Structure 1
Amino acid sequence: MAADPNPARNWFNQGGQTYARFRPEYPPRLAAFLASAAPGRQLAVDVGCGNGQLTRLLAPHFNAVVGLDPSADQIANTVSDERITYRCAPAERLPLADGCASLITAAQAAHWFDLPAFYREVRRIGAAGGILALISYGVLSLEPALDERFQAFYQDEIGPYWPPERKLVDSGYATLDFPFEELAAPPLEIRLEWRLAEFLGYLSTWSAVRCAREAGREDVLLRFASEIAQAWGDENTRRSIAWPINMRIGRL
């Protein structure tokens, strides 16, 4: 059955666990590459780990993994694993011993950090020759029939509601200060096949969507949802969505 072009459902009102449900998963190749670059496999530390998407991927490659996030709500939505320890902590005060970590990652999080303070902690807990990787994924792309409408929404309609830090993500962290011996990263992407509800559920996790709602501009969101639903067709049809993975990776 085709989607209603004027749906009564508010796709952007998904409840409190949307981040864990709808954030795209990183490909296993990313964790395998990061582990191959690290000088050892004793400990990996994922800073700003959220609900543990990258943390879980690192676990098979290391003897132990620590996931750290300042949000207790995010930690509460992690999935337990005997190799992973999750703790609430900010990026600027890492509760770990000196020289303990072969790999330190920050996925879709570094733009929120006080970078000089974070880098001091990285140098303190990092093992000799250890690896720091700042990872982000860029603006998604849809199938051609849908992508033009989405890009207009992203750039022009929801664009004014993004925090300034979003520009750092869009640039792949290219403009971030990164005072480490930089290494080349392979081309990687996230590619998923999503139904309409999953796609709009993901959009509902955006800080810009939250800001638009708080500004009383839910009409912008509902208009886009209606128009993309009409272009999507049957809401249960799976459509291809891709995000480029960007990385700044350096040796300590």
Structure 2
Amino acid sequence: MKDIKDKFSNQAKQYQQFRPVYPQLLYSFLDSKVTAFDAAWDCGTGNGQVATQLAERFTEVCATDISEKQLAEASQKENIKYSLSRAEKTGYPDDKFDLTTVAQAVHWFDHDSFFKEVLRVSKPNAVVAIWGYNLLRISAEIDKLIDTFYGQTLGEYWDYERKLVEDEYKSMPFPFEEFEVPRFEIVANWDDQQVLGYFNSWSAVQNFIEKNGTNPVDDLAGQLSSYWQADETKKIRFRIFTRMGRVKK
């Protein structure tokens, strides 16, 4: 089993405050595929964004993460049970869950071990839904700055797991009966401070700071100011990519 990488404890507050919100259409699609709403597992829950939505639909939601600091920032609801746990080994009983979700986190997991655990704890015909998103898009001029920041300034500071995100999880094994999923998109209106806060939540930014003692987002902020007034909001977009399927056992 691969070693644990905790890349988000240091910036748990930024992660909770600035990460994008997934669209309701995504959850409605999941609702159409799930056959029962007794129990769901949100793995790599982070700030509990997905768990909170699942709690509106499921009687019980179990949400796990390896970061105690992330869990401390997570949204609380009576029917959400948060646990500090690896994705690959939990204490849940066999055949418990109707749905397992992983949002923007599966690239950090040991996939073979994780999917064995999903098979063990899932009911027959349960749904497994994994998704992520890549770079945000704003405008031609700003997108160029973002691409340079991502690929050149931070290029060597991304962990190798990021390649799976760039690949949109296409090369990842997925031992479930996969079904077709519509295209979903995150759309929001952000000001410059929200965008900069989002960049500060990146694992590569934390790796850069750890090695160099300076924050590369500060330089990016100066570049953005040429295209973005302090009190202005702009429409931002993230394209969501997915792997979803049904458990057969």
Match of residue 152, structure 2, among 156, 181, 188: 156
Task: Tell me, yes or no, if the aligned pair for 1:43 and 1:63 is still in contact at 8 Å.
Answer: yes
Does residue 67 of the first structure (1) align with residue 63 of the second (2)? Answer: yes
CA 1:145/1:128 → structure 2, altered by over 3 Å: closer, same or farther? same
Match of residue 171, structure 2, among 175, 183, 197: 175
> Which residue of structure 1 aligns with residue 227 of structure 2?
231
> Which residue of structure 2 aligns with residue 88 of structure 1?
84
Q: In structure 1, how many angstroms separate the alpha carbons of the residues matched to 2:21 and 2:215?
A: 30
Task: Tell me, yes or no, if the aligned pair for 2:205 and 2:216 is still in contact at 8 Å.
Answer: no
Aligned identity (percent) is 35
Task: Tell me, yes or no, if the aligned pair for 1:131 and 1:250 is still in contact at 8 Å.
Answer: yes
> Which residue of structure 1 aligns with residue 6 of structure 2?
none
Q: In structure 2, how many angstroms separate the alpha carbons of the residues matched to 1:88 and 1:220?
A: 31
Highest RCO, 1 vs 2 (Cα 8 Å, sep ≥ 6)? 1
Shift of 1:213: 1.3
Q: Equivalences for 1:46-65 in 2 at 5 Å?
A: 46-65=42-61
> Which residue of structure 2 aligns with residue 4 of structure 1?
none
Q: TM-score, normalised by structure 2?
A: 0.91
Match of residue 244, structure 2, among 224, 243, 249: 249
Match of residue 129, structure 2, among 130, 133, 142: 133
Q: In structure 2, how many angstroms separate the alpha carbons of the residues matched to 1:92 and 1:104?
A: 13
Match of residue 186, structure 2, among 167, 185, 190: 190
Instruction: Kindly tell me the number of residue pairs found equivalent between the two proteins.
Output: 238
**SS class of match (1:25):** coil
Q: TM-score, normalised by structure 1?
A: 0.90
- Unaligned segments of structure 2, at least 5 residues: 1-9
Does residue 77 of the first structure (1) align with residue 73 of the second (2)? Answer: yes
C-alpha deviations, 1:10-45, integer Å up to 9, x for none? xxxx97511111111111111221122112111111
Q: In structure 2, how many angstroms separate the alpha carbons of the residues matched to 1:178 and 1:187?
A: 19
Does residue 165 of the first structure (1) align with residue 150 of the second (2)? Answer: no
C-alpha deviations, 1:188-233, integer Å up to 9, x for none? 011111111110000001011111112217374332221112221x
Residue type of the alignment partner of 1:244: R
